[in-house]
Chain A
Amino acid sequence: MDIPYTVEVRRDTGLTNGKIGIWLFLASEVMLFGALFASYILIRTGAPSWPRGDTILNVPLATFNTLVLISSSVTMVMAWASLMRHRFGTFRIYMGATILLGFVFLVVKYFEYSHKFENGLYPSTNNFLAIYFTLTGLHMLHVFGGMMVNAYFLGPGSKLWKTNPEWFTNRVEHSGLFWHFVDLVWIFLFPTLYLL
């Protein structure tokens, strides 16, 4: 049994099922991170004092990570664009680069975290660190999830390219939308936590 509009668009909506699905998922993700940002605002405005992010956190490392994630968004788009041009070889290079950049982000984050722990800074230390670890931790889970999906499309999932290239291209596009969202969350996290 084939579900209609998995690959071809429905004429009156102009969309495939997957496209609607991923945007709905991102809407719920906005609410998830939105609630956490709102909590951050409430806790910070209620606090008698609040440290500036750069007095505790490592801004140069985070700036580097911001560049890494933005670059990974670019390579993600290039991966999808290669598929649109039917260049599977280039797709593999760009997709590999996207995953690699995600990995670099996580490694940098690992050094940041372990440096905090070495200095006795834990989530329980104060509410600034609590929200820092919660937000970045949840964000890292998202980066990791996105990497897993991308790795699937680079590896076993890419078999679909041979049988149904259009469907495969759509899937990579949807995975890309998620990846850009994860990138965007970081764009908000970085100034909020590190600079303000």
Chain B
Amino acid sequence: MTEPAAVAAPKPHIAHEVPHEALGFWRKYVFSTDHKVIGIQYAITGLLFLLFGFSLMMLMRWQLAYPGAALPLLGRLLGEARMPGGTMLPEFYNELGAMHGTIMVFLGVVPLAVGGFGNFVVPLQIGAQDMAFPRLNMASYWSFFLGGVTMLASFLVPGGAAQGGWTSYTPLSVLAGTGQTMWLIGMIFLITSSLLGAINFITTIIQLRAKGLTFLRFPFFVWTQFVTAFLLLLAFPPLEAAAVMQLMDRVAGTSFFLPSGLVVSGQVVAVAGGGNPLLWQHLFWFLAHPEVYVLILPGMGIVAEIIANNTRKPLWGYRSMVYSLVFLGFMSFIVWAHHMFMTGMGTAMAAFFQTTTMIISIPSVVILTALIISLWGGSIRFNTPMLFAVAFLPMFGIGGLTGLPLGLNVADIPLHDTYYVIAHFHYVVAPGTIFALFAGIYYWFPKATGRKMNETLGKIHFFGSLVCMNVVFMPMFLMGLAGVSRRLFDGGASYAFAQPVLHLNVVSSWGAWTLAIFQIPFIFNFFWSIWKGEQTDGNPWQATTIEWAAPSPPPHGNFPVAPEAYRGPYEYSVPGAAKDFLPQYEA
């Protein structure tokens, strides 16, 4: 390794002005301002929430596979108010459904993908010593934490947690119990957290990139986080406005979302009226469609890093990928109403939104295609991160392509609100994004700990998860095409037309429970490798990007000498070079 020149930097960044050791336990590990500690805090909290959200779903899968049957042991532990005699009450099923969605999206995947990977990796990849606003970064984590606690606490209030789905559609959610108020307050904390994080990411990426690191020398992962941060920054505030209005409806008795003459249980609701229930849907989806890209873009970024590294080739079409990404970010703000074709919006509006939806599918396909072509002719190393990254491609492909019919008004109307929709977006997020996140954990684990995770356990985790994910979600396409509605408490058992496909509920459920078993090797591997894993040097994957210039684990301040970027991010197998990779940070 040649020595990176720091002399020319405008102001030499001297790390270790405050020795890390000088900080006490609380400042070092709990209320830390170090981006790496905050990243790991986000990642661990996110993983715990993913496990919790998954557990809620496993409970629901029992009710769906065996409607009305008493759940042995666990059923009784949950108490008479939720599962009398071990049999699930519909209200509890609705709580589980709403909180599964909320937790997986807002407390699991986004905190792990953006808060975890973004915080840990982005400053390292751009050669910065920390985020631009370290204290804001800490505030962002603790705001997220408070939001999470509020959401969890809502299970304990009278009437239980929110029951209105993760979308909290009005007017039902306005009339629901206390849990919904907790949900709204929790969301306000989470939105604040995202906002602080987004400002920090954009500023860090623009200002703190190393000398020579121009925008088109960014690793693709940095680009995905950059675009994601803009989506969070601009799409979340409208939901915050909507949450404030719903809170006003619930607490101050306004009727933003309550129409005149609303009748509930045979009684006209005593409010002023004149509100518009669809307004909530517009504001919600104005956030939630960009949110879909917040869920998927960091995953794509992780996969791009790992594919380039393990094919030992530059990414095919890097520039097209970047331009597609930016275009996709813009477009994601004008497609939201394709979630609302069922509201009777009229053909003119539907035509507009289905056109923009078809247009936005183009950049996603460009990125996915570029990643697939990147595999072509490479001498691929199939380590655990690469297996997850490669599996991401067809899994996300299935999720993405099955979304096309949902973007077209005419096809959406029969498919919407069936299990088809559930299968579609779970393919995008579960074997899609979550596989990418697993890939990222296996890939950057050596950077965070200085040790590699075990390969054998990793492969058991991978193959088990890959099979089980498909066993869980593939049957849902069939059930959806057969017309079975989603969100049914009995999984469709009370409908005659659903009888021929009901056995698929049992298949899905057993798939989900087996999937849980295959996460045990991962959990064990994660903790075992922290202390016992194979020790590695700074750059165990022979990678080119700047994070690998730092020691593993990087000290406070990251780099002994401020790194510089001399070339693009993926200079693998350059003809005539002495080794098969030319790191960005080597002159």
Q: Is the pairing of A and B real? A: yes
- In the complex the two chains form, what is the Cα distance from A133 to B252 in whole Å? 10
Q: Check B275–A127 contact: CB distance below 8 A.
A: yes
Is B248 a contact partner of A20 (Cβ separation < 8 A)? no
- Taking the closest CB of chain A, its distance from the CB of B349, in whole angstroms, is 14
Q: B253 is contacted by which of A2, A4, A123 (Cβ under 8 Å)?
A: A123
Chain A-chain B contacts (Cβ-Cβ < 8 Å), number: 145
In the assembly, what is the distance between CA of A21 and CA of B131, in Å? 12
Q: A43-B256, A43-B275, A127-B272 are in contact. Are A35 and B238 (CB under 8 A)?
A: yes
- Report the separation of the CA atoms of residues A21 and B140 in the bound assembly, to the nearest whole angstrom: 14
A33 to B234, CA, bound (A): 12
Interchain CA distance A28-B241 in the complex, whole Å = 11
Q: Given A5-B208, A27-B233 in contact, is the A21-B253 Cβ separation under 8 Å? A: no
Contact across chains for A134 and B15 when beta carbons are under 8 A apart: no
For residue A44, give the distance in angstroms from its CB to the closest CB of chain B.
Answer: 10
Chain A residues bordering chain B, tally (CB within 8 A): 41
Question: Is B203 within 8 A of A42, CB to CB?
Answer: no
**Candidates A32, A39, A126; contact of B274 at CB < 8 Å:** A126
Docked CA distance A11–B557 (Å): 22
User: Contact: B271 with A134, CB < 8 Å?
Assistant: no
Question: Are A134 and B272 CB-contacts (below 8 A) given A5-B208, A43-B256, A123-B254?
Answer: no
Contact call A4/B248, Cβ cutoff below 8 A: no
Q: Mark B177-210, 1 if CB is under 8 A from A, else 0.
A: 0000000000000000001001110110011100
Q: Is B262 an interface residue (CB 8 A)?
A: no
Complex Cα distance A57/B517, Å?
Answer: 63
Q: Which positions 6-65 of chain A face chain B at CB distance < 8 Å?
A: 8, 10-11, 13, 15-17, 20-21, 24-25, 27-29, 31-36, 39, 42-43, 46-47
Does A1 lie within 8 Å of B245, measured CB to CB? no
Q: Do A125 and B272 form a contact, CB below 8 Å, given A24-B233, A35-B283?
A: yes
10 interchain residue pairs of minimum CB distance = A124-B253, A130-B254, A35-B238, A32-B237, A35-B241, A31-B237, A17-B132, A123-B252, A24-B199, A127-B274
Interface readout for B33-67 with A: 1 if CB under 8 Å, 0 if not? Answer: 00000000000000000000000000000000000
Q: How far is the CA of A78 from the CA of B543 in the complex (A)?
A: 53
* Chain A contact residues, CB within 8 Å of chain B: 1-5, 8, 10-11, 13, 15-17, 20-21, 24-25, 27-29, 31-36, 39, 42-43, 46-47, 122-127, 130-131, 133-134, 138
Chain B residues closer than 8 Å to A43, beta-carbon distance = 256, 274-276, 279
Selected A-B contacts with CB under 8 Å, 26 pairs: A3-B131, A8-B11, A11-B10, A16-B207, A20-B206, A21-B133, A21-B199, A21-B203, A28-B233, A31-B235, A31-B238, A35-B242, A36-B241, A39-B256, A42-B279, A124-B254, A124-B255, A124-B272, A126-B272, A126-B274, A130-B248, A130-B254, A130-B256, A131-B256, A133-B248, A134-B244
- Give the chain B neighbours of A36 by CB distance below 8 A: 241, 244-245
CB–CB B254/A1 < 8 A: no
Partner of A27, one of B14, B130, B234, B241: B234
Does B405 sit within 8 A of A, measured CB to CB?
Answer: no
What 0/1 pattern do residues 236 to 251 of B give for CB contact below 8 A with A? 1110111011001000
Name the residue among B130, B133, B236, B274 with the largest chain A CB count within 10 angstroms.
B274
- With both chains docked as a complex, state the minimum distance between the C-beta of A125 and any C-beta of chain B, in angstroms: 6
* B208→A28 contact, CB < 8 A: no
In contact, A1 and B18 (Cβ under 8 angstroms): yes
Cα distance A125–B254 when bound, in Å?
7
The answer to whether A47 and B274 have CB atoms under 8 Å apart is yes
B261, chain A: closest CB distance, angstroms: 12
Query: What is the CA–CA distance of A10 and B489 in the complex, to the nearest angstrom?
Result: 58
Interchain nearest-CB distance for A5 vs B (Å):
5
**Interface check B3, CB cutoff 8 A:** no
Q: Give the CA-CA distance A148 to B199 in the complex, in Å.
A: 21
B residues within 8 A CB of A33? 241
Task: From A21, A122, A127, give the contact of B256 (CB < 8 A).
Answer: A127
B556 within 8 A of A: yes
Other than the given A5-B208, A32-B241, 6 more pairs (CB < 8 A) read: A1-B556, A28-B198, A35-B237, A39-B245, A130-B254, A131-B256
Known contacts A35-B242, A35-B286, A127-B275; decide if A3 and B134 are in contact (CB<8 Å).
yes
Closest to B195 in A: A28
Give min CB distance, A148 to chain B, whole Å.
Answer: 15
In whole Å, how far is B2's beta carbon from the nearest beta carbon of chain A?
A: 24
A138/B207 in contact, CB under 8 A: no
B556 pairs with A10, CB closer than 8 A: no
> Within B369-426, which residues are at the interface with A (CB < 8 Å)?
none
A43 to B256: give the CA distance in the assembly, Å: 8
CB distance from A1 to the nearest CB of B (A): 5
> Please, which residues of chain A bring their CB within 8 A of the CB of B286?
35
- Which residues of B sit under 8 angstroms from A31, Cβ to Cβ? 233-235, 237-238
Residues of the A chain whose Cβ atoms lie less than 8 Å from the Cβ of B199: 21, 24-25, 28
Segment 274-310 of B: residues with Cβ below 8 Å from A: 274-276, 279, 282-283, 286
Asked if B237 contacts A28 (CB within 8 A), the reply is yes
Q: Is the CB of B207 within 8 A of A10?
A: yes
Q: Which B residues touch A11, using CB under 8 A?
A: 10
- Least distance between B97 CB and chain A CB atoms (Å): 27
Q: Tell me whether B274 and A122 are in contact (CB under 8 A).
A: no
User: In the complex, which residues of chain B have a beta carbon less than 8 angstroms from the beta carbon of A27?
Assistant: 233-234
For residue B13, CB closer than 8 A to chain A, the reply is yes
Separation of A27 and B248 alpha carbons in the complex (Å): 24
Residues in A neighbouring B17, C-beta threshold 8 A: 1-2
Hey, which chain B residues are within 8 Å of A5, CB to CB? Answer: 132, 207-208
* List of A residues within 8 angstroms of B10 by Cβ: 4, 8, 10-11
Contacts of B136 in A (CB 8 A): 21
Instruction: Report Cα–Cα, A125/B136, bound state, in Å.
Output: 40
A33 to B238, CA, bound (A): 8
Closest to A24 in B: B199
A124, B134: Cβ atoms closer than 8 Å: no
